[in-house]
Structure 1
Amino acid sequence: MNYLMRIGFIAITMLLYMTRNAFSENLIKKTIKLPSAKAFKPFNLLFIADIHRRNIKADLINFPVDIIVIGGDLVEKGVPLERVAENIENLRSHAPVYFVWGNNDREVNEDALRKIFNQYGVIVLDDKSVSLFGNPQLKLVGIDHFAYKPDGLKNAFSEVNEQDTVVFVTHTPFDFWKIKGPYAADLLLAGHTHGGQIRFGPFGMFKKGSIKYKNGRVELITNGFGTTTLHLRLGAPAEYHLLTIVPETEIGE
């Protein structure tokens, strides 16, 4: 009996620990230097993905931020639109918000989501680029991966020039291999994998989230902020990122 009680205690403790990890708020801060043909003013980019069912508290952001990028799966089936609107309002109160579609977002009414986006001025990057801070050589590019459009990537980069400094965002990191040649980018952002969500040491369904420097560019895959199906995490805690983007060429040089 004592043995079974110990096993039960350990199981309950583990579940509580995994639940706490799932609803934690781990902010990862990183300064990233990007190549620039024309220097730009350093800026803070908040990247958050895979929110799913979570509430974004009004005080989640208590630091300066210049732009916010949502990397997909803002919502999923069963989440009230009122919660989505509140999450967007809390983000938008701090900075302009940009969004790419994830695989779960269209489980709710797309027109209703777009109405919320329009209400709060969220810019949807469905296969297009935008210039940041009025600088035509500093671009944010996003694709709608799960629309499966044959010309999606081509359209997204149609107004991007070779000398531009490019931040590329997609919901899934499985798009990263496509970013080469005429579709080059300096910083790549994605979520989707949840870092495996439940890991046992080095083992998980997907690799743990990371920031890596590969082939002269920076690739960020986040563990994500929320969970789906099982609201538990082990070895891949919930996270969001504050990236301070700095040009290699300083203004005035």
Structure 2
Amino acid sequence: MKYLIRIALAALALLLFMVRNAFSEKLVMETVELRAAKPFKPFKLLFIADVHRRVIRADLLDSPVDIVIIGGDLAERGVPLERVAENIRRLMAIAPVYFVWGNNDREVDEASLRQIFEQSGVIVLDDRSVSLFGNEQLKLVGLDHFAYKPDGFENAFKNVKANDTVLFVSHTPFDFWKVKDAYFADLLLAGHTHGGQIRIGPFGLFKKGSMKVKKDRIELISNGFGTTTLHLRLGAQAEYHVLTVRPKIEADK
């Protein structure tokens, strides 16, 4: 009997630990250098994905950034629009906000979400690119993956030129190989996988989130900020990211 009680207490302790992990988060700070045919002024970006049901704290950051990128799944079915609007207000108070759709976002009424975005000044990247900081050779490209449009990539990269410095964001990292195959980006950002969310040692449904610096690009897959279905985490801590982005002049290589 004592043995069973110990097992039950250990299971309860593990469950409480996983719940706590689901509602805590880690700020990950990195500096990256991107190729730049035309130098740009260094800037900081906040990348946050997979908010789902969570409330974003007003004091999320204690130092300024220049732009905020939401990597999808800002909401899901059952999340009150008032909470979404408040999360947006708090992010807009930090810096201009750019958004790509995730697979759960449209579980909330899309027209209502778009109205919140329009009223707040959020820039929605529906398979398109925008120039950053008035620099026509510094592009942010966003893909609406879960709209499943056959011309999504083509439209997203339509205005991107070969010598542009490109930041690419999609909700899912499974788009990265397509960018590498037919297009090009210097920095690729995604969430969606939650880092597996519940991992037993090295094993999980998906790989743990990470940043990989490769020969010609940098890939960041975030564990994400929130959870869905099971509000538990183990071995894949909730996180959000501040990247300091600097130019790497090609002549210096």
Q: TM-score w.r.t. structure 2 length? A: 0.97
Q: Which residue of the partner structure matches residue 69 of structure 1? A: 69
Q: Where do 1:88-99 residues align within 5 Å?
A: 88-99=88-99
Pair 1:153-2:153 in alignment? yes
- Unpaired runs of at least 5, structure 2: none
Matched residue, 2:139: 139
Q: Tell me what 1:236 maps to.
A: 236
Q: Does 1:16 align with 2:16?
A: yes
The corresponding residue for 1:164 is 164
| 1:181-202: CA deviation from partner (whole Å, max 9, x where unpaired) | 5520000000000000000011
Is 1:30 aligned to residue 30 of structure 2?
A: yes
Q: What letter matches 1:65 in structure 2?
A: V
Cα distance in structure 1, aligned partners of 2:176 and 2:236 = 21
Q: Partner letter of residue 105 of structure 2?
A: D
Indicate the residue corresponding to 2:112 in structure 1.
112
The DSSP-based 3-state class of the residue aligned with 2:16 is: helix
CA-CA distance at 1:154 after TM superposition: 0.4
User: In the comparison of the two structures, how many residue pairs are matched?
Assistant: 250
Percentage of matched positions with identical amino acids: 72
Q: How does 1:2-13 map to 2 (within 5 A)?
A: 2-13=2-13
Structure 1 residues 64-86: Cα deviation after superposition (integer angstroms, max 9, x where no partner)? 11000000000000000000000
Deviations 1:138-166 (A, max 9, x none): 00000100001111100000110000000
Q: Which runs of 4+ in 1 moved over 2 A?
A: none
Distance 1:125 1:38 in 2: 24
Report the alpha carbon displacement of residue 243 of structure 1 after superposing the two structures with TM: 0.4
1:224 is aligned to 224
How many Å separate the matches in 2 of 1:36 and 1:111? 38
In structure 1, what is the equivalent of residue 173 of structure 2? 173
C-alpha distance in 2, partners of 1:158/1:42?
Answer: 25
Whole-angstrom distance in 1 between the partners of 2:217 and 2:15: 38
Query: What is the alpha-carbon distance in structure 1 between the residues aligned to residue 40 and residue 132 of structure 2?
Result: 10
Q: Which residue of 2 aligns with 1:193?
A: 193
Residue type matched to 2:49 in 1? A
Distance 1:120 1:85 in 2: 8
* Per-residue deviation, 1:214: 2.6
Equivalent residue, structure 2, for 1:41: 41
Structure 1: which amino acid aligns with 2:197? Q
**Unmatched runs of 5 consecutive residues or more in structure 1:** none
* AA of the residue aligned to 1:107: E
Cα distance, 1:28 vs structure 2 = 0.3
Matches of 1:180 and 1:233 in 2, distance apart? 31
In structure 2, how many angstroms separate the alpha carbons of the residues matched to 1:218 and 1:108?
A: 32
- Structure 1 residue 62: Cα displacement: 1.7
> 1:16 corresponds to which letter in structure 2?
L
SS in structure 1 of the partner of residue 69 of structure 2: strand
Question: Over aligned residue pairs, what C-alpha RMSD do you find?
Answer: 1.1
Q: Distance in 2 between matches of 1:214 and 1:154?
A: 24
Q: Secondary structure at the match of 1:179?
A: helix
Tell me how far 1:180 sits from its aligned partner: 2.7
SS, match of residue 243 in structure 1: strand
Amino acid at match of 2:86: E
2-structure distance, mates of 1:157, 1:20: 41
Deviation readout 1:42-91 (Å, 9 max, x if unpaired): 00010000000000011112211100000000000000000000000000
TM-score of the pair, normalised by structure 1 = 0.97
1:226 maps to a residue whose letter is G
More displaced 10-residue stretch of structure 1: 147-156 or 209-218: 209-218
